[in-house]
Amino acid sequence: MTSFVEVTHDGHVSTLTINRPDKLNALSTEVLEDLRAAVDALANREEARAAVITGTGKAFVAGADIAAMKDMTEAEGRAFGALGHGVFDAIEQLRLPVIAAVNGFALGGGCELALACDFIYASSKAKFGQPEVNLGIIPGFGGTQRLPRRVGSAAARELIYTGRMIGAEEALRIGLVNAVFEPDALLPKTIEAAKEIATKGPLAIAAAKRLIRDGLDRALPEANRMEQAAFAEAFGTADQREGMSAFLEKRSPAFRGA
């Protein structure tokens, strides 16, 4: 059986490409299961230090598969939502940063997939939105929670309540995306950023990702205590000794993730 997710590796950087272009990469149960398998494999790949998620054709992911959702019962909807949440939570929980390279439509579940990544780079032709209310439902893969945390509650409310689609420049203005590139430059620029991240101390990157993720919803004193503990733990690693020695010796560090 052909997978709907193509995985390629370039040194420490892995790229996951949603490949269902005839359906604009819509997220069916099968696509979500393939994506979960790819994410789990990535979690177990020791060499992996950064990853990119993108889509084939003119869409990143145009949304969930509406044809498959139309006749779902409440129980089936609950199971489908749990599957999507499980996949996106797994992306968010990865030790390594994941960058979304949004090459086209990122609507509904596609926008939610991008939001599960650490940050987003977009093509100038990209379109974002949470149009679920147009279908009589709400975002079901984390949109009501991750979007307000990314762009603020007022902007998220507007996008979710209206179901409006926005372009890349507006997405940049509200803080949904970090940068906008011309279509041909998007993937090279995203991979370039991933490769830069991959040169840094992998244990430090993993700790920083965990602290940012877990500290956002905690009181500042508690979050700062978490940071203090992780900062101290870094001094027990070979990467800390290598990084500081390389700095003092004016050479590039050779981190081993230990």
Please indicate whether residue 66 or residue 115 has the higher confidence score (pLDDT).
Answer: 115
Whether residues 31 and 64 share a domain: the answer is yes
| Dihedral (Cα; 155, 77, 118, 160), 10-degree rounding | -10
CATH number where 144 lies: 3.90.226.10
CATH number where 207 lies: 1.10.12
Q: Is residue 180 part of a domain?
A: yes
Phi, psi of 239, rounded to the nearest 5 degrees: -60, -40
For residues 34 and 3, the answer to whether their CB atoms sit within 8 Å is yes
Q: Is residue 256 part of a domain?
A: no
Whether residues 13 and 117 share a domain: the answer is yes
Whether residues 140 and 240 share a domain: the answer is no
**Per the structure block, which two tokens stand in for 248?**
């003092």
- Residues 231-246: tens digit of each pLDDT: 999 999 999 999 999 9
Is the per-residue pLDDT at 82 higher than 70? yes
Whether residues 77 and 193 share a domain: the answer is yes
Q: Is residue 10 part of a domain?
A: yes
- Residues 197-227: tens digit of each pLDDT: 999 999 999 999 999 999 998 999 999 999 9
Domains: count for the chain? 2
For residues 160 and 133, the answer to whether their CB atoms sit within 8 Å is yes
Question: Which structural domain range is residue 235 located in?
Answer: 202-248
Q: What is the mean pLDDT of residues 152-172?
A: 98
Is the per-residue pLDDT at 196 higher than 80? yes
Whether residues 119 and 225 share a domain: the answer is no
Q: Is residue 254 part of a domain?
A: no
| Mean of pLDDT over the chain | 96
| Dihedral (Cα; 35, 146, 183, 24), 10-degree rounding | 50
- Amino acid 67: pLDDT: 86
Is the per-residue pLDDT at 68 higher than 90? no
- Amino acid 184: pLDDT: 97
Whether residues 76 and 188 share a domain: the answer is yes
Percent of the chain whose pLDDT exceeds 70: 99
Whether residues 95 and 208 share a domain: the answer is no
The catalytic residue positions are 112, 132
Percent of the chain whose pLDDT exceeds 90: 95
Q: Which of 110, 104, 92, 118 is nearest to 178 (CA)?
A: 118
Is the per-residue pLDDT at 51 higher than 70? yes
Whether residues 190 and 231 share a domain: the answer is no
Q: Domain boundary at 159, 183, 198, which?
A: 198
Q: Is residue 170 part of a domain?
A: yes
Q: Which of 35, 54, 31 is nearest to 43 (CA)?
A: 35
Q: Binning pLDDT at 50, 70 and 90, where does residue 2 land?
A: low
Is the per-residue pLDDT at 3 higher than 60? yes
Whether residues 147 and 168 share a domain: the answer is yes
Is the per-residue pLDDT at 1 higher than 80? no
Residue 93 makes CB contacts below 8 A (sequence gap 6+) with 213
Q: Domain boundary at 166, 182, 198, which?
A: 198
Long-range CB pairs of 168-176 (<8 Å, 24+ gap) are: 168/102, 168/122, 168/123, 168/124, 168/125, 168/126, 168/127, 168/128, 169/124, 171/120, 171/122, 171/126, 171/128, 172/122, 175/150, 175/151, 176/120, 176/128, 176/147, 176/150, 176/151
- Amino acid 229: pLDDT: 97
Q: Binning pLDDT at 50, 70 and 90, where does residue 65 land?
A: confident
